Amino acid sequence: MCGIVGYVGKQNAVAIILEGLKRLEYRGYDSAGICVQKGRKLNLIKKAGRVDNLSKEVAKHRMVGTTGIGHTRWATHGGVTDANAHPHVSSDGKFALIHNGVIENYAQMKAFLLKKGYKFKSETDTEVLCNLIAYHYAKENSRTKGQSRFVECVRKTLRHVEGTYGIAVLCVDFPSEIVGARKASPLILGVGEDEYILASDASALVSRTQNVVYLKDGEIAHLTPKNFFISTLDQADVSPVVDKINWSVADAELGDYAHFMEKEIFEQPAALENAMRGRFSADGSTAQFGGLNITPGEFRDLERFMFCACGTAWHACLVTEHLIERFARIPVEVDYASEFRYRNSPLDPRTLFFVMSQSGETIDTLAALREAKRKGYRVMAVNNVVGSSIAREADGGIYQHVGPEVGVASTKAFTSQLLIGAMIALYVARMRDMSFSDGVQYVEALKAAPALTRRALAQAPKIKAIAKRYAKYQDMLFLGRLSLFPLALEGALKLKEISYIHAEGYPAAEMKHGPIALVSESCPSVFFAPKSEIFNKIVSSMQEIKARKGPIIAITTEGTELPEGLADETIFIPECHEAVLPIVAAIPVQLLSYYIAVERGCDVDKPRNLAKSVTVE
């Protein structure tokens, strides 16, 4: 969940690293640091707080050099202090290291190193790793000479590591070189003109190059001014495959918007168009996917689907479960990825796994994928980042194609996951008992989603005014039924994430089974109340809230009439097909959460304690 940048080239590394850190700040913003090598000297500056704090400190010094590493931190081991910020320097002053991940056996390593006389200035597992590299380097004898000595001491150290890591290392004895390595934590090598960049995310290097090498687990990269070399922990040479990033730096710029979350909310119509482009059959009756690597016959033989995800993606899976069971009539189970790998769940042999992750690097989801494959199941992935770990390790998959999502609170990635889930439901349903005409109707409904979403976004001024009136509350309930129950969970999550208001999501009918005890004049409820066969049931639940003086914000479809005085605020969304309804219904709760957070003065794009991509367990 931290941001890593390393640079080797002819330019001044400082400006390049600071720019990269700024672009990576959504991955962690507790503290930041930079270390630049000039000759056989390591120049280090690190500060608690945002990257701006580091930039101001760097500006006070004349820091120059053509090789360096930088880091923006999301704290795991040790509090948010200057001392705990990265990079860390070994106690002998020979190595500087930045690290994303968790070293699980760091305590044993630290005890060993303390006995050997190594000193520690921080509480982090990273400093332990840095000192262990120094230990192996000092232990090397004349049998290992030249450039390989730097690489070999890193390699020997990593063989002792239990846990996860993405690292970049400098050594005073090897000016203009960086060694990087990864295990279950993303690390990308950017290949530029007479320069190389290591980063944990493509956004840090796309302004310099779009040519990248995605390092795999257990690989070590050795960067020099003129070339780079990749090998494994077992000393096997690797022939690198250079891929191309399919988006530009402009896609990750803020533009005229106040926040990335606002920008990404309003990008959703275009994002939906990109997610469905080229994915409908020529006769317009079903979906088609190019990367599933599974035949229609194999799909028809399936008896069960299993979806694993975390956070917002888990909510998208719940909606997908409803749509697959509703239209394809096949059982679906949704599990938290973090729980699946530790449960001994009985599984039908004719089960197909899906994992869902915007980043493709979510550590729990990646672990669930590996556990399912270990048990012999085929695993499909829905994710947004080409070349990510999940994309590479899955047996097949579907890319979201929505471009970079920088806001920590997911918006356009979520609605595109809902869309892809609806397309999967259609794809399976048409193989089973959905008719041609029903398929055509379903496809036309999905194609209308971008336009319907634009109409929902037109409600922004009204929702902004509602948000001003409700920003004072400290508790809120979100209530929905069937496919909109997961939207209640998502609405509550969004509000918690960025405004710090305590919020809970429930099925509306479950209110009587406990949560209604929370209802009062100071606890508003947001109801999803579209026109449907259970509309009267939802109205009945709303009346129970109203009878206890609870304020109500109703999200309903155009043309629907609620009993007079039942809702204090009403937000209308376009009437639409059942498969599209969750996508359109997501817009009001995204806007409501966003405007409430802005009204409360919260840092929307950098909510406290959170980072964008959860790459540590």
Average the pLDDT over 530-552 and give the result.
87
Domain annotation for the chain: domains and CATH numbers: 3-248 (3.60.20.10), 254-447 (3.40.50.10490), 458-607 (3.40.50.10490)
Catalytic-residue membership of 2:
yes
pLDDT tier for residue 276 given thresholds of 50, 70 and 90: very high
Average the pLDDT over 104-118 and give the result.
94
- 8-state DSSP, 4: E
Q: Is the pLDDT of residue 255 over 90?
A: no
Q: Is the pLDDT of residue 528 over 90?
A: yes
Task: Round to whole Å and give the CA distance between 172 and 153.
Answer: 14
Residue 139 has a pLDDT of 85
Q: Is the pLDDT of residue 145 over 60?
A: no
Q: Which H helix or E strand runs over 447?
A: helix 436-447
Residue 142 has a pLDDT of 41
Q: Is the pLDDT of residue 568 over 60?
A: yes
Q: Is the pLDDT of residue 604 over 50?
A: yes
Average the pLDDT over 100-106 and give the result.
92
Q: Is the pLDDT of residue 348 over 90?
A: no
DSSP 297-314: HHHHT--EEEEEE-HHHH
Average the pLDDT over 449-471 and give the result.
97
Q: What's the Cα-to-Cα distance from 486 to each of 169, 237, 519, rounded to whole Å?
A: 44, 47, 21
The string of pLDDT tens digits covering residues 4-41 is 999 999 999 999 999 999 988 877 788 999 999 988 89
Average the pLDDT over 424-444 and give the result.
95
Furthest CA-CA distance within the chain: 87
For residue 87, cis peptide bond before it (omega within 30 degrees of 0): yes
Residue 521 has a pLDDT of 87
The whole model's pTM is what? 0.88
Buried b (16+ CB within 10 A) or exposed e, 4-14: bbbbbbeeebb
Q: What percentage of the chain carries pLDDT values higher than 70?
A: 98
Best mean pLDDT range from 70-84, 248-262, 439-453: 439-453
Catalytic-residue membership of 310:
no
Instruction: Of 145-159, 165-179, 358-372, give the lowest mean pLDDT range.
Output: 145-159
Report the DSSP pairing between strands 379-383 and 351-357: parallel
> Which token pair is 547?
């009878």
Q: Catalytic pick from 110, 263, 494, 612?
A: 612
Residue 247 has a pLDDT of 73
> Which token pair is 178?
């960086």
Q: Which H helix or E strand runs over 325?
A: helix 311-327
Task: Round to whole Å and give the CA distance between 492 and 479.
Answer: 9
Average the pLDDT over 406-421 and give the result.
95
Mean pLDDT, rounded, of the chain: 91
- 8-state DSSP, 216: P
Average the pLDDT over 46-74 and give the result.
91
Average the pLDDT over 78-102 and give the result.
92
Alpha-carbon torsion, ordered 512, 518, 523, 529, to 10 deg: -20
Q: Is the pLDDT of residue 327 over 70?
A: yes
Helix (H, G, I), strand (E, B) or coil at 465: helix
- Cβ neighbours of residue 213 closer than 8 Å, sequence gap 6 or more: 188, 189, 191, 221, 228, 230, 240, 241, 242, 243
The string of pLDDT tens digits covering residues 171-188 is 999 999 999 999 988 899
Q: Is the pLDDT of residue 435 over 50?
A: yes
Average the pLDDT over 264-283 and give the result.
95
Q: Catalytic pick from 2, 130, 308, 602?
A: 2
Task: Round to whole Å and give the CA distance between 27 and 42.
Answer: 25
Q: What percentage of the chain carries pLDDT values higher than 90?
A: 71
pLDDT tier for residue 614 given thresholds of 50, 70 and 90: low
Closest Cα to residue 16, out of 178, 240, 216? 178
Q: Is the pLDDT of residue 543 over 70?
A: yes
Average the pLDDT over 422-439 and give the result.
94
Residue 106 has a pLDDT of 93
Helix (H, G, I), strand (E, B) or coil at 272: helix
Give the other-Cβ count within 10 Å of 288's Cβ: 12
Task: Round to whole Å and give the CA distance between 179 and 66.
Answer: 15
